[in-house]
Amino acid sequence: MSVREISRGYTARSNKIALLNTIGTLAAYFGLLWLAIRCADIWYLLLPLSVAVAFTAIRLYMLQHDCGHGSFFRTRRLNDVAGRVMAPFTFAPYNATKYNHNQHHTHIGDLAHRDAGEIFTMTLAEYRAAPLWKRLGYRLYRSPLILFFIGPIFVYVIQYRFPKNGIKTGVWDVVITNVALGFYLWGLYALFGATALWVLGGCIVIGGFIGAMIPYVQHNFEQMYWDRKPSHTFETAALQSSAVLDFGRVYNFLTANIAYHDLHHLNANIPCYHLQDCYRAVEHLLNSRKIGFVEGLGCLRWKLWDEDAKKMVPFPAPSMFAKPAVPQA
């Protein structure tokens, strides 16, 4: 049997498991946030609590992500209701986030549709041919400061207030999410004062950093896959454009098994709570690219796709762009 055929045996949804995951994650999020606010003056307690809040927010986002694929609850209606309930706490309007992420799945590894990706990648040839201002802009965009700190804050706090394709997917969904988010922030302020907003802001920075690192490493390793049609195929792209993050069981639980990313891209109908079991059943057929924590940090050096070498490469040395010396007569 093929991987796709075996994976179909793990696509059954369970309302009970989904509901327990949703209630448990929301309870952990609010409980840990309350503790972090109460411990705002004790930095050695605030810091680990803020990291914990950030991870619960990331887990909530991953559950919302499963709802967007229709793979969390048994019915589309329940998935949509749950996804919209989570939206004010993930800062991500449900309809637009669902649409944009499914575009990412549709065009995974396709050089002609890189705008659908979560992190834009230039080819080496494009970079070499680009004017200086464009090369400098891409270098700035690909810097850790932008990718993992400023960028995530801008996307979730500002851009998601009216996200890409927000008109196409429904303005009211965006408006309702923003209003609900406003009430959520007002409620925190009313109950706990400005301290609550500062604590939540710190959690957002930490969560944004972790949340940005996850897709970056999963889709930005050296031997990943980019191609153009007609040679580009969805199955090859799903399995070779996505890596498995080998960060341990605790990480897998906190991120709802999003680590098994090649299998998820191949069959997004597998609920997160069955993904690990399915991966174990097909691991011998996948030949997954596994990336540990140390190697994941090393992925920061990969910046450009070399179409000739078929791999990610660092930025070329500035000397490669220098004009050749003119021989003296």
Q: Any idea what the Cα angle at residue 107 is, between residues 127 and 112, rounded to 5°?
A: 35
pLDDT, tens only, 35-94:
999 999 999 999 999 999 999 999 999 999 999 999 999 999 999 999 999 999 999 999
CA–CA separation, 289 and 251 (whole Å): 18
Q: How confident is the model at residue 117 (pLDDT cuts 50, 70, 90)?
A: confident
Checking if the pLDDT of 327 tops 70, the result is no
Whether the CB-CB separation of 288 and 244 falls below 8 Å is answered with yes
CA–CA separation, 89 and 185 (whole Å): 10
Quick one: what percent of the chain has pLDDT higher than 90?
92
Predicted local confidence at residue 2, as pLDDT: 87
pLDDT, tens only, 167-193:
999 999 999 999 999 999 999 999 999
Predicted local confidence at residue 309, as pLDDT: 95
Higher-scoring residue by pLDDT: 211, 318:
211
Count of other CB atoms within 10 angstroms of residue 103: 16
Reduce the DSSP state of residue 123 to 3 states and report it: strand
CA–CA separation, 26 and 56 (whole Å): 8
- The domain segmentation of the chain, as residue ranges, is 3-318
Q: What is the pTM of this model?
A: 0.92
Predicted local confidence at residue 1, as pLDDT: 79
Predicted local confidence at residue 329, as pLDDT: 45
Please give the structure tokens belonging to residue 109.
């590894």
Range 262-279 average pLDDT: 96
Checking if the pLDDT of 106 tops 80, the result is yes
SS (H, E, C) 282-320: HHHHHCCCEECHHHHHHHHHCCEEECCCCEEECCCCHHH
Q: How confident is the model at residue 134 (pLDDT cuts 50, 70, 90)?
A: very high
Reference 311, options 111, 123, 108; nearest CA is 123
Predicted local confidence at residue 320, as pLDDT: 54
CA–CA separation, 187 and 238 (whole Å): 42
Range in 116-125, 254-263, 272-281, 316-325 with the lowest mean pLDDT:
316-325
Whether the CB-CB separation of 7 and 263 falls below 8 Å is answered with yes
Predicted local confidence at residue 319, as pLDDT: 58
Checking if the pLDDT of 200 tops 80, the result is yes
pLDDT, tens only, 280-316:
999 999 889 999 999 999 999 999 999 999 999 999 9
Virtual torsion, Cα 131, 135, 136, 140, nearest 10 deg: 150
Long-range contacts of range 27-34, CB-CB < 8 Å, 24 or more positions apart?
28/56, 29/53, 29/56, 29/57, 29/60, 29/89, 32/56, 33/199, 33/200, 33/203
* Phi, psi torsion values for 143, nearest 5 degrees: -75, 150
CA–CA separation, 184 and 30 (whole Å): 12
Virtual torsion, Cα 128, 131, 135, 137, nearest 10 deg: -160
Range 112-122 average pLDDT: 91
Predicted local confidence at residue 321, as pLDDT: 52
Q: List the beta bridge partners of residue 244.
A: 260, 290
* Phi, psi torsion values for 267, nearest 5 degrees: -140, 90
Predicted local confidence at residue 325, as pLDDT: 45
CA–CA separation, 275 and 247 (whole Å): 16
Provide the terminal-to-terminal Cα distance of the chain, rounded to the nearest Å. 71
Range 221-229 average pLDDT: 94
Distances in whole angstroms, Cα of residue 285 to Cα of each of 43, 176, 200, 246, 262:
47, 44, 43, 18, 12
